[in-house]
């Protein structure tokens, strides 16, 4: 099972349940893979809604990129030895710049909530090892995103 938490630093008008449904869809679609990955333990995922300044600082510190971005995913499964620990496993954190999401929503002509959902699902997929470094990976990631966003 996946446990979800929301930290809304910018007080965007969305609630935890809005995002939790995407966590549940991801889990339902990938249950066997996720349970195996987490050794049948619960996994904690947190979403932080923030601004351009904060995400810029994170992007610079952790990726060496001196600019703001829309979404960052920190997959702790890749860098921790959680197998040795007991209790829930911290899967990772997804950070979304609401400022950038607003701009992108306007450009794409959909709502802020829709853009936040797209970015959140993108981050979730990164937490579980999906990436888009080449066309094949990108196609697979888009396929999963479409299923979750239905």
Q: Give the percent of the chain with pLDDT over 70.
A: 97
More confident residue, 135 or 81: 135
What was the pLDDT predicted at 83?
67
Nearest to 122 by CA among 142, 103, 108: 142
**Statement: 2-149 belongs to CATH 3.90.550.10:** no
What is the rounded average pLDDT of the residues 12-35? 93
Is the Cβ–Cβ distance between 79 and 92 less than 8 Å? Answer: no
What was the pLDDT predicted at 132?
92
Res. 23: pLDDT tops 90: yes
Q: What are phi and psi of 20, to 5 degrees?
A: -60, -30
Domain boundaries, the chain: 2-149
Is the Cβ–Cβ distance between 130 and 84 less than 8 Å? Answer: no
Specify the residue for token string 């299923």.
147
Tokens of 30: 């990938």
**What does the buried/exposed string (b/e) look like for 112-133 if buried means 16 or more CB atoms within 10 Å of the residue's CB?**
beebbbbbbbbbbbbbbebeee
pTM of the entire predicted model: 0.93
Helices of type H across 46-111: 52-63, 98-108
The DSSP letter of residue 76 is: G
Q: What are phi and psi of 10, to 5 degrees?
A: -110, 5
What was the pLDDT predicted at 39?
85
Per residue in 85-131, pLDDT (tens digit) is 677 889 999 999 999 999 999 999 999 999 999 999 999 999 998 99
Q: What is the mean pLDDT of the chain?
A: 93
């Amino acid at each position: 099972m996946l446990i979800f938490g929301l930290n809304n630093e910018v007080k965007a008008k969305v609630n935890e349940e809005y995002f939790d449904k995407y966590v549940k869809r991801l889990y339902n679609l990938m249950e066997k893979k996720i349970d195996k990955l987490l050794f049948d333990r619960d996994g904690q995922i947190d979403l932080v809604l923030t601004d351009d300044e904060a995400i810029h600082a994170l992007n610079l510190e952790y990726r060496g990129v001196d600019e703001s971005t829309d979404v960052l995913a920190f997959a702790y499964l890749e860098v921790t030895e959680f197998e040795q620990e007991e209790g829930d496993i911290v899967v990772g954190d997804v950070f979304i710049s609401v400022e950038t999401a607003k701009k992108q929503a306007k450009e794409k002509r959909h709502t802020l909530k829709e853009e936040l959902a797209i970015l959140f699902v993108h981050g979730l997929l990164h937490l579980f090892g999906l990436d888009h470094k080449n066309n094949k990976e990108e196609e697979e990631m888009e396929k999963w995103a479409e299923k979750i966003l239905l």
